[in-house]
Structure 1
Amino acid sequence: MVQLFPSSVALVLLLQYANAQAIVNGQIYTPGIALVDAPQPNTPLGGDHLQVALDVTSNGQLQLPPYPKDPVSAIHNITIFLSSYATGKNFTISNGTAGAGNASLGEIMQQEPGSTVKHVNWVWPDCLAGDGDPKDPNSARGAYNISIRQNFRMNGTSMYTIFDLPIRVTNSIPVAPNRPPCDMLNNPMLDQATLNASASWFTRIAGTAIETKGTGTGIGGQKPQAQPKDGLGGAGSLDWCSGLHSLWMVVFVFMFPF
């Protein structure tokens, strides 16, 4: 087993390198048009709200809605979930329709009209209140993925992609009367194979131009690689890429046990 370990690590490194999503100057390239400005991967989170910042123009390459008729590139909608195989929870952050008391948010693309960055401010549900790592094995706190699903058209090709950004719900979340019940937001957990089958085979490479005129050249890509078992799965891994030197570093191999 000791002799096999180095080659096993090398194989995993190679696979993650081939299917990587990049972080360039702090922005995370999803397998879609939107870029994640915050949070950074594997960040411990808490406070009153879960906050996510999405650049929906890919640094100004794409105009904001309303789009022209039959656009070459456009984001049709973005839905977001907070999901974890470790806890068995799959909470709706936004599925396009605002829930009672804004427990789940409305359509992301319609928020903050005129702003190229959409700021998601979602009230943590009641079962995530607490402080520190979970002591109770039945706790809902712990490792999660912010699962960002994009239905979009890019350079003449229509796609649906799933991108899972790992975080940890371990910082302090105070008990508050405005926290919605977890049961109201929880959804059945889909298995990884089902999620992978629903998403397009596409990994966006940092620097890929987004066309807004003409008929589009079309785009190809690779099927995103699954995340570690703690999260929801069905998304690309994350690498750090220096825009100056194009230096890639595979890191998540060492964050979770095999």
Structure 2
Amino acid sequence: MGTTDDDNKTTAQLIQELHSKGKLTPKKVKQSSHSYRVQGTGHDNAEYYGCPKRPKELGRYNDPEEEIGIWYGAQHPSGALAETFGRLRPKDKKGTGIFINVTDLESRDMCVVEMNRDLTLLDLKPCLSKLARTVDEVSGLDYSLTQEIVGAVARLPGNPFDGIAYESRHHPDGHSCYALWTKPGEATTVKTVEMTKLSEFEYKGELPEGFEGDSIDAEEIMTEILGYKVLGS
């Protein structure tokens, strides 16, 4: 098979072309809807839009041009916990479980935020085939493609998107994780509602099938949903 013009286009060029044709899949997130973020205790709020500078390693969905701040969170608390602790799984030991000390529940907060306005996010997964890409390319240890996507989408004319909606590589259960951006001088898109130590957090929303009770705590989410081991509890 011969090459086509698309084979020679950069990811940024393909994104611009798809956007001009209305073919980038959006995900709508309504104003005042809640999202979840896990972070260390001691912070005033959960509205951190990180913009790391090299040589520090940029996160999976950080801006490669080091200009735009990115807020990380999740649609469900299980996603926030998976994205925080899932990276503890040894990279060279497939099948090894994740072990967490009970002190980790005291040193981190589960933060609940609400959206300040209606948001439009790029729904990444259904866009991958249009970009001639596959899921493994955005979920592996190489962050260059995801950073390239953020750099291009965040700079589309007219600012049509407020961030990226993606599926957790550590717990792909159909819920979204979010990488929201705020450009210099722009208002943040989230507002802190609640910050609770993981040891005290309880969730009364969508519960696992067959789970008894009307709420689930963070340790139960990690053991019953994520399959982690919490030591010392």
What TM-score, normalized to structure 1? 0.27
Q: Which has the higher strand share?
A: 1
Structure having greater relative contact order (Cα 8 Å, sep ≥ 6) = 2
Q: Which has the higher helix share?
A: 2
